[in-house]
Structure 1
Amino acid sequence: MMSAKLWAPALTACALATSIALVGCSKDPKDAQQAAAAQKMPPTEVGVLVAQPQSVEQVVELSGRTAAYQVSEVRPQTSGVVLKRLFNEGSFVRAGQPLYEIDSSINRANLDNARATLTRQQANLNAMRVKANRYSQLVGMNAVSKQEYDDLISQVKLAEADVAASQAVLKNAQIDLGYSTVRAPISGITGISTVTAGALVTANQAEALVKIQQLDPIYVLINQSSAELLRLKKQISQGNLTANLNTKVRLRLEDGSIYPIEGNMQFSDASVNQETGSVTIRALFDNPNQLLLPGMYATAEIVRAVIPNAYLVPQAALTRTPTGQATVMLVNAKGQVEPRPVTTAGSKGTEWIITDGLKTGDKIIVDGIAKVKPEQKVNAKPYQAKPAPQAGKAAGAPPASAAQPAQPAKPVEQKAASQA
C-alpha cells in the first residue's frame, strides 16, 4: 500500500510531461506548414518604367505684366478752341484718322497773309531781274557804270532771299493750318477724351487730349532674379545645359487658363533693378482678339535651356529621405528591390527631371512602391500610366456600369467560386 502511494505522484508527473510533449509535437508541424506556405507566396507585383535618357527642356515660371506695344499721348500742336470730337471713346482708330477739329480761322488768316507776302516778294524779284537784264546790255555800251550794275545784282540776290523766306513762312502757315485737325499718330484703342467741344487748347500743352494704345501685338514684361540668371549662365558655360536659341514663351493668365498663342523672347535688360534685384525680360505676343490688356498679371513659362541626357520619372516613383535626399526604387538583375539616390533638376508637368543617379535600362518602380522594401523579391511588370479623366464626363454622373444590368455578372462569380 505504501509503495503504491509513493508511485502515484511520479506517475502523474510523467503523464503530464508526456501530454505536454505530445501537445508540443502536434504544434510544430502546423507552424512549419505556415512557414512553407509563406515561402510559396508569389512575389509582390510592381509596375516598372525602363529609364531612357532624353533631352528635356528646362522651363522656368516667372511673373510678369502686360504692356502696350505702342502708346501715344495725343497733344495739340496749335492753339485754338475745340470745335468737335471726331471719334468714339474706346474705339479703334487708324493712323492718320482725324480725332479733333480745332478752330482754324486764325491759322487760315496767317496762311493768307504769308501767301500775300510771298506774292509781293516774287513781284519785286521779277522787277529786279528785268532791270538787271537791261543793265547787262547797257553796261557793255558804257551807258551805265559797272558799279550801278553790281549794286543791282546784289539787290536781285536780296530779293531772292526775301522770296525764300516768304516761302518758308507760307509753308509754316500751311502746317499750322493742318494742325487744326488733330490726327491719330498710331493705330490703336483710344482712351477717355480729356476735352470736349468748346475747350481751349494750346500748342504742346502738358495734358494730353487722349491716349492711344496699340494692343496687337502686345508686350509682356517679365522679372527674373539676377541670381537665377547667373546660375543659368554658369550651367550653360559648364556644359550641363544647352542654351535655347529659339526661345518660346507660354503664358498662363490670372484665371489659370493658358493663352493659346506662344510668344517670342525679344530682349533681356542689360542692368539689374537695384530695388528688386531682378532683370526685366520682354516677350512679344500676338493679340488679335485683344484678350490681353495692358497691366494684366500673367505667369510666363520660358524654355531657357535644354538638359541633355536627362530622365523623366513620374512623381509617384520618387521619395525623399528625412534629410531631403531624393531616392527611387529599382528592380535589380536579381529581381530584388534596390534603393538608388538621384539628383533632380526640377519638374516638367507631372514628372521629375533626373540628371544623375540613373543609367539606361534601369527598371524604376512606379506602381506598388508603397508595398515593397529593399532586398524584397518582386515581380516586375511594365508600368501602365493611368489615362487622364475625360473632360466630357460631368461630375456626379453615374458610371457606365450603373447603366448596364448587373445580372450577367452573377453566373461568372458563381463559376469562379465553384472553380475555387
Structure 2
Amino acid sequence: MPSRASSGVARTLLGALTLLLVVGGCNDGAGSAPPAERPLPEVTFVEIQPEVITADDILPGRVSALRIAEVRPQVGGIIQKRLFEEGDLVDEGQPLYQIDPAPFRADVASARAVRDRAKANLELAEIRAKRMRSVTGTGAVSELDIESAETGLALAKAELAQAQAALDRAALNLRYATIRAPIAGRISISQITEGALVTMNDPQPLTRIQQIDQVFIDIKQPIARYEELRRAFEDGSILRDDALPVSLFSVSGEPYPEEGRLLFADISVDSSTNELTLRVLADNTEARLLPGMFVRARIAYGEQRNVILIPQQAVRREPSLGDHVMVIEEGDTVGVRAIQYGRVVNRRYVILSGLKPGERVIVEGHDRLTPGVKVSAKPFDLPPQVKE
C-alpha cells in the first residue's frame, strides 16, 4: 500500500512539472516576438494650384479738403458785424463780415463829383474844338489856337477816363467793405470779433472755409511697390482695372461707406521715406471724413492671374536655410524648398519663387521632420475666410 501512495504522488509532481515547462515555453516564445513598428509622423498639406486674385494694397492715408479758402479783407477798416454762425455751411458769395462802409461811401461820392467835373470839362473842350474846326482856313484863328483846342479836347477825354476809373475803384472798395465767402463749404472759427481793426496786410486770416462734400486722400506708397506694379501692368500679369476703385477704412479697421477712385501718382519721391504720394478722390456727402484724419485705403489695381499662395504657417525660417517650406515628395517623403514670398492675401503668402503647381506643401506637423523622412499626410482645411 505505501508503494502505491508514493507512486501517485510521483505522478502528480511529474504532471505539475510538465505544466510549468509548457507555460514557461509559451512565455519564452512571447518574449522573443519582434517589436511593433513606430507610427509615421502625421502632417497636413496643401497642393499648390495657380489662383486668380485681386491685386491690391492697403496703405495709410490722410484726408484733406477738396478746396480751402482763407477769408481775408481786401480793404482796411473796423469790423461792424459778423454775419455767420461758426461751423455753418456757407454759400459762395454769402456775406460774412461787414466793415464800416461810411469812409468808402464818402470816397465814392468824392470820386463821382470829380468824374462829373471831368465830364463837364470834356463837353466844354468839345465845343471849343468844334468852333475852331469851323473857321479853319479862313485866317480868323491861328494854327496854334486850333492845335491847342484839339489838345485840350484830348486832355479832357483822358481826365474823364481817369475820373471814371477812380470812381470805379471807390465803388469796388465799397463792395469790398462787405466781406463775402470766396467758395461754398463749411466755415471755421472766426479769428476776430466786432470792433476789430483789419487791414489787407494782416498775417492771420479772418477765418477759413473748407469744401468737404468731396475730399482728397493722400496715400504713401513705397517706390519699390510702385515699380513692381508698373512692371506687372506692362507684362500683363495684372489686368488693370481702369476705374481703380479705393475702399476706405478707419484706423481701427471699420469700413466707411464712402468709396473713392485713384486720380494720379505724384512724380516726386520723398527722399526721407522713399515713398510716392497717391491722390484719391472720395465722395463725402455725410461729412464722415474730416480734414486731417488718418485712414487706411485699399486700392484694387486689377486681376492678377497664376498666383501661388500658401498658408503663412507653412513657411519656416532658419539661419542656415533662410525662408523655406517642407514638401511631400514621391513616396511620401519629406523634401525642402527655398522660397521667396511677397505680401499677405487672406492669411496666405504670395510666393514669388521656389514652388511650382502640383507640389504638396506641408502646413502642420513640422516638429522633428528631416529631409527623407516618410510621413502620413492628409489635406489641410483652409479657414472659411480664406476659401472665400
Under TM normalisation by the shorter chain, which class is it? 0.7 to 0.9
Structure 1 residues 188 and 271 mapped into 2: Cα distance closer, same or farther (>3 Å)?
same
Whether 1:66 aligns to 2:63 is: yes
Give the Å deviation of 1:120: 1.3
SS of equivalent to 2:349: strand
Q: 1:136 matched to which residue of 2?
A: 133
Q: How far apart, in 1, do the equivalents of 2:343 and 2:181 lie?
A: 49
Q: How far apart, in 2, do the equivalents of 1:200 and 1:78 lie?
A: 11
Q: How far apart, in 2, do the equivalents of 1:326 and 1:305 lie?
A: 29
Structure 1, residues 361-404: CA drift from partner, whole Å, max 9, x if none? 445566x6569965324455xx654446xxxxxxxxxxxxxxxx
Check the 8 A contact 1:53/1:360 in 2, yes or no: no
Give 1 or 2: higher strand fraction: 2
Structure 1 residues 372 and 57 mapped into 2: Cα distance closer, same or farther (>3 Å)?
farther
Q: How far apart, in 1, do the equivalents of 2:19 and 2:116 lie?
A: 152
Check the 8 A contact 2:48/2:309 in 1, yes or no: no
Q: How far apart, in 2, do the equivalents of 1:245 and 1:166 lie?
A: 62
Q: How far apart, in 1, do the equivalents of 2:141 and 2:186 lie?
A: 72
Structure 1 residues 204 and 64 mapped into 2: Cα distance closer, same or farther (>3 Å)?
same
Give the Å deviation of 1:300: 3.2
Structure 1 residues 277 and 174 mapped into 2: Cα distance closer, same or farther (>3 Å)?
same
Structure 1 residues 352 and 274 mapped into 2: Cα distance closer, same or farther (>3 Å)?
closer
The two structures have a TM-score, normalised by structure 2, of: 0.78
87-96 or 369-378: which moved more? 369-378
Q: 2:250 matched to which residue of 1?
A: 253
Give the Å deviation of 1:132: 2.0
Q: How far apart, in 2, do the equivalents of 1:377 and 1:387 lie?
A: 25
Q: How far apart, in 2, do the equivalents of 1:372 and 1:303 lie?
A: 41
Structure 1 residues 153 and 183 mapped into 2: Cα distance closer, same or farther (>3 Å)?
same
Match of 2:315 among 312, 319, 334: 319
SS of equivalent to 1:90: coil
Q: How far apart, in 1, do the equivalents of 2:280 and 2:255 lie?
A: 16
Aligned pairs, number: 362
Check the 8 A contact 1:326/1:344 in 2, yes or no: no
Whether 1:291 aligns to 2:285 is: no
State the one-letter code of the partner of 1:25.
G
Give the Å deviation of 1:162: 0.8
Match of 2:268 among 266, 271, 294: 271
State the superposition RMSD in angstroms. Answer: 3.8
Q: 1:166 matched to which residue of 2?
A: 163
Q: How far apart, in 1, do the equivalents of 2:119 and 2:293 lie?
A: 61
282-291 or 103-112: which moved more? 282-291
274-283 or 144-153: which moved more? 274-283
SS of equivalent to 1:259: strand
Give the Å deviation of 1:101: 1.0
- After the TM superposition, list the runs of 4 or more consecutive aligned residues in structure 1 that deviate by more than 6 angstroms: 14-19, 370-373
Structure 1 residues 356 and 63 mapped into 2: Cα distance closer, same or farther (>3 Å)?
same
Alignment of 1:6-21 (within 5 A): 21=25
Alignment of 1:13-412 (within 5 A): 21-27=25-31, 48-49=46-47, 51-54=49-52, 56-59=54-57, 61-226=58-223, 228=224, 232=228, 236=232, 242=238, 246=242, 247-303=244-300, 308-316=305-313, 318-323=314-319, 324-327=322-325, 329-330=327-328, 336=332, 338-339=334-335, 341=337, 342-363=339-360, 374-378=373-377, 385-387=382-384
Structure 1 residues 340 and 307 mapped into 2: Cα distance closer, same or farther (>3 Å)?
farther
SS of equivalent to 1:158: helix
Check the 8 A contact 2:93/2:183 in 1, yes or no: yes
Q: How far apart, in 1, do the equivalents of 2:264 and 2:378 lie?
A: 53
Check the 8 A contact 1:329/1:369 in 2, yes or no: no
In structure 2, runs of 5+ residues without a counterpart are: 1-17
Structure 1 residues 149 and 297 mapped into 2: Cα distance closer, same or farther (>3 Å)?
same
Structure 1 residues 327 and 82 mapped into 2: Cα distance closer, same or farther (>3 Å)?
same
The two structures have a TM-score, normalised by structure 1, of: 0.73
Structure 1, residues 131-188: CA drift from partner, whole Å, max 9, x if none? 2223222114443333322221111111111111111111111110000110011112
Q: How far apart, in 1, do the equivalents of 2:333 and 2:120 lie?
A: 109
State the one-letter code of the partner of 1:270.
I
Q: 2:5 matched to which residue of 1?
A: none
SS of equivalent to 1:262: strand
Q: How far apart, in 2, do the equivalents of 1:248 and 1:340 lie?
A: 40
Q: How far apart, in 1, do the equivalents of 2:171 and 2:365 lie?
A: 84
Give the Å deviation of 1:108: 0.8
Q: How far apart, in 2, do the equivalents of 1:312 and 1:266 lie?
A: 30
Q: How far apart, in 2, do the equivalents of 1:178 and 1:313 lie?
A: 70
Structure 1, residues 204-252: CA drift from partner, whole Å, max 9, x if none? 32221111112232222333445x3576378659959659574443333
Structure 1, residues 309-347: CA drift from partner, whole Å, max 9, x if none? 21233435x2314244231545x676x365452432111
Percent identity reads 31
Check the 8 A contact 1:58/1:307 in 2, yes or no: no
In structure 1, runs of 5+ residues without a counterpart are: 1-13, 389-420
State the one-letter code of the partner of 2:249.
R
186-195 or 137-146: which moved more? 137-146
Structure 1 residues 26 and 273 mapped into 2: Cα distance closer, same or farther (>3 Å)?
closer
Check the 8 A contact 1:52/1:361 in 2, yes or no: no
Q: How far apart, in 2, do the equivalents of 1:194 and 1:103 lie?
A: 18
357-366 or 67-76: which moved more? 357-366
